[in-house]
Amino acid sequence: MDEHSAAPTVVGGPVVDEELVEFAVAVARDAGRTASAAFFGTTPGRRRKADGTELTDVDLAVEEQVRAAIGRFAPDDAVLGEEAGESGGGSGRRWVVDPISGTGYLTRRMPLFANLLAYEDEHGPAIGVIHMPVQRETVFAARGRGCRLLTGLDQPVAAARRTRVGDRSQLDGALVLGANQHAWSEDLLTALHRRVNLVGGIHHAVVHVVTGRVDAAVLVGQGYDDLAPLPVILAEAGGRVSDLDGAPVLGGNGTVVAANPRLHGQLRALADRRPATRGGKALR
């Protein structure tokens, strides 16, 4: 490990019950059905939140739907949602919901949004789900159960296949997805452009990392709800994730570098002491 590598993504604790995994995947897929109906139906009206990001009635409806499902399944668990904040709790466990990650894509008729769900227990990150309803793909991981991919909208969880990060060891020429490049600093953008094949990505760019389609992802401007599924997904896929400063991603600065362990260290070295952003608003 070189001096710029962050500590490995640590997800410790007992193996998660498969029934809980199946519930999480089902909830995320149901959220996707509601979001897709809006995407293919009448364009939802949009307004701006205090942080400048977009909000629609669909975001609110999907989050309410997810909260209701969790309330029926685990009424003592807390729920932290992007739109309604944190509520409930008493069990020491918590669900984190981003009802529509990439609302701006949905309102622009771009099929690039996702439904995110994470579960945290007394041991830390336990389940992460990234569901892309228009692409008809779901990546999910649970502590001790690996990272898995479902294709289609009706496949049972038992039909999912295991996925892993790629094994590329050299940074030069690596295929790297970026997100919110309009908010990146010129230093960061230039440094990456000189070394890697940097292409546009989206919030769920990590899906393509943990399925081995691309070598790495670099993101900025992420909220906790965007980040919550990542530690367990990357760890169970054999990867590493941190913020650009090397801090644990859930306690970091809203940036993300996700890759296999070798490339993660090299990307961290490249980003070292470079400002991550230039102050532009990130799309969430």
- Percent of the chain with pLDDT strictly greater than 90: 76
Judgement on whether residues 181 and 130 belong to the same structural domain of the protein: no
Judgement on whether residues 124 and 182 belong to the same structural domain of the protein: no
pLDDT of residue 227: 96
Judgement on whether residues 181 and 156 belong to the same structural domain of the protein: no
Task: Give the residue from 162, 193, 213 where a domain finishes.
Answer: 162
Give the ranges where 122-260 is alpha helix by DSSP (H): 186-195, 206-210, 224-227, 230-236
- Annotated ligand binding at 130? The verdict is no
pLDDT of residue 12: 82
Q: Of 154 and 35, which is predicted with more confidence? A: 35
pLDDT of residue 97: 98
Judgement on whether residues 139 and 40 belong to the same structural domain of the protein: yes
- Annotated ligand binding at 100? The verdict is yes
Task: Give the residue from 104, 131, 162 where a domain finishes.
Answer: 162
Can you give the CATH number for the domain in which 240 is found?
A: 3.40.190.80
Chain segment 94-136, per-residue pLDDT in tens = 999 999 999 988 988 999 999 999 999 999 999 999 999 999 9
Instruction: Kindly report which listed range (24-33, 155-164, 203-212, 274-283) carries the lowest average pLDDT score.
Output: 274-283
* Residue 273 Ramachandran class (φ > 0 left, ψ -120 to 50 alpha, else beta): left
Chain segment 49-99, per-residue pLDDT in tens = 777 678 889 999 999 999 999 999 999 999 999 999 999 889 999 999 999
Predicted confidence band at 7 (pLDDT cuts at 50, 70, 90)?
Answer: very low
Judgement on whether residues 82 and 186 belong to the same structural domain of the protein: no
Note whether residue 1 is domain-resident: no
Residue 38, pLDDT > 90, answer yes
pLDDT of residue 5: 43
Note whether residue 6 is domain-resident: no
* Residue whose structure tokens are 């970026």: 178
Task: Report the alpha-carbon distance of residue 280 to residue 139 in Å, rounded.
Answer: 29
Domain with 59, as residue range(s), is 18-162
Q: How would you class 58 by CB atoms within 10 Å of its CB: exposed for 0-12, middle for 13-18, buried for 19 or more? A: buried
Q: Are 147 and 211 in contact (CB under 8 A)?
A: no
Average pLDDT over residues 242-256: 94
pLDDT of residue 4: 43
Predicted confidence band at 250 (pLDDT cuts at 50, 70, 90)?
Answer: very high
Chain segment 265-284, per-residue pLDDT in tens = 999 999 987 888 775 555 55
Q: Of 157 and 4, which is predicted with more confidence? A: 157
3-class state of residue 211 by DSSP:
coil
Judgement on whether residues 140 and 232 belong to the same structural domain of the protein: no
Q: How would you class 156 by CB atoms within 10 Å of its CB: exposed for 0-12, middle for 13-18, buried for 19 or more? A: exposed
- Annotated ligand binding at 272? The verdict is no
Task: Give the residue from 139, 162, 185 where a domain finishes.
Answer: 162
- Annotated ligand binding at 2? The verdict is no
Judgement on whether residues 60 and 139 belong to the same structural domain of the protein: yes
Judgement on whether residues 154 and 239 belong to the same structural domain of the protein: no
pLDDT of residue 180: 83
